[in-house]
Structure 1
Amino acid sequence: MKKVMSWVYLLVLLATSSGVKAACDAVGSFTINPGSITVQRDMAVGQPITDWLYSNSGVAYQNCNYDAQLQYNIENGVKSYNGRSSGLSYNGETVFDTALPGVGFVLQSRAQKGSQGWTGWNGLSAGKTQVPVLFTTHNKGDRISFSDQMRIRLIKTGNIKTGALSGNIGYFYAGIKQTSSWSPEKVVSFSGGQITSVACSVTTNPVNVPLGEHNKREFSGAGTGTGWQTFNIGLNCDQNARINVRIDATADSDAGVPGIIKLDSDPANASSVGVQLWYRNENSPVQFGQDRYYWTSPTGGNEIIQLQARYYQTKQGITAGKANATATFTLTYK
């Protein structure tokens, strides 16, 4: 009989022991919805696509019971299990993958114990996948609560595929590191968001502009020119594509004004003459080697870059001859 009673007593002890809990109740729901975002196709890899995007804030952990471990601080922080295939960092912080090709993010978190003030924002330094945000002591009988909030910034990591943002971003966590007494993690996920990559295609390439034959008597001195020859560069654009133009050419140093192309090298060339390039829509000279915002296509479809060209006398003493010139047009959509 004593043997049976001893066995029952052991079971009671085991049952009592297994009921001791060292954890917090994980509560609340946390999401981020970036909304609809248009990205220019030629944006450089590593550049931010958005400003900071915020999750809702609220209690993530409550009724934290660590009475048996008063000698240790409770830790509350943030982590991410997402991949890091781009190998990029942004401002010294890890860039994680989203499920959408070409789009990654950096994340930061802040925390609040009970009704105390919020901490500052803490990010995951390059190569790190988690960071503690708040440490706190606790007394026996305390039932601490933690509120959390996350923010992310989307980063271009490669060629972007138009599509929806989905999946998990990161997790809040709480517990005691020294004893591995962790509460359940609270996930932060995308609740929406659409990325659209936009650009244009050139429909007229190359562009040949015949300036015709002219008599020297059409010029009356340095700074004068022939009649303008208008021409366009045709584009087909996605809606909201931001068209930026860069024109590169060898400037004629004798002209003393911007937008004059030096004639192509040829022993049969005319002298004291260059080719002047001009933006028709703004009535201004082309500045060689400079990116210039031109237009945002409001509805998409066909667009044109409006230009004009003419022969321009750069100095006294024109001699007759060939007068060909070359410029390179580069279009970006940033």
Structure 2
Amino acid sequence: MRITTKPYSHSGPADSNWLGQQLGNSSGEQTNYTVFNFISCSAYGRYSFSYPVDSPIAGLTHEASGTSYPVYPTGVQGIGYVVGIRDPNASKWMSVKPPYQQVYPAPGQGGMDMSSLGFSVQMKLIATDRLKTGSYTIPAKVVATMRAADKNYELIPGINDVRLWLNSTVVNVNASGCKVTPGSVLQTVSLPPASTSEFSGVGSSAAQSTSFSVAVDCDPDISVYATMTDATTPANTSDTLSLGRGSGADGIGLKLYKSGESTPVKFGPDSSGKNNTNQWYVGKSSTGNRNITIPFQARYVQTKPKIETGKVEASSTITFSYQ
């Protein structure tokens, strides 16, 4: 069996697709009632199964009509695929998932010996990462193997496995976004020295602070979002930046504030995906205002009841999302 998905064209912000979301109307569907014909065989078919060929992308699924689909890589950055399957007489789609999916009889339904078995198959292209401008050809590839078995779950002599193909399709992307200004790319921010006497307990801050800013130049009509990530502890989702390996001090951390705000920035994963943890809205570019600047302040904060004096080093990154 071969499935052809519709060509897909994207024009707009690079991160406008939710990860795990179908790309436009990029789908294809086919039904074949006689993928396996048992008339001339020694046994009838009682079961059918589908086996994926690729390994799913970790942590990413596509949800549709109550079914969760693992997403598989196409080989093109930012684009994956999912495969839905069902018996032609069944109403609910199931996902082709590891290690296999029984297709006939459908889960919860009784089966019987069949003189033939078929499949209904659908495929969708799915967003897996930021889309980059260009024209991409997704090569034809085998995405699943379909198999029939007798009442004893054994292969039937003369009935070979059937491969399910995704035919080649073209994806055209014209993605708009921003560029970080040269002065913002790599910055060293120095805070004045502080004395232990300036802190009054866990959560207290010293008076010293240092200002810095990060700026991007954008195409018009881009909604810019950002996530700060703790480079030392990337899983950190608190509002306190961890000390780096070069630090000699203990009981001290850093908080980063957007200028004019009293609530510190919370850290999140290094991802440009929409709705990333602790991602915040920065602003929207326009034809007349393509530069967006974010001013920050850095402050010391006490993190433990006892402070050990010494050198303080910490590092963070900022990831922009163009929506």
Using the size of structure 1 for normalisation, the TM-score is 0.48
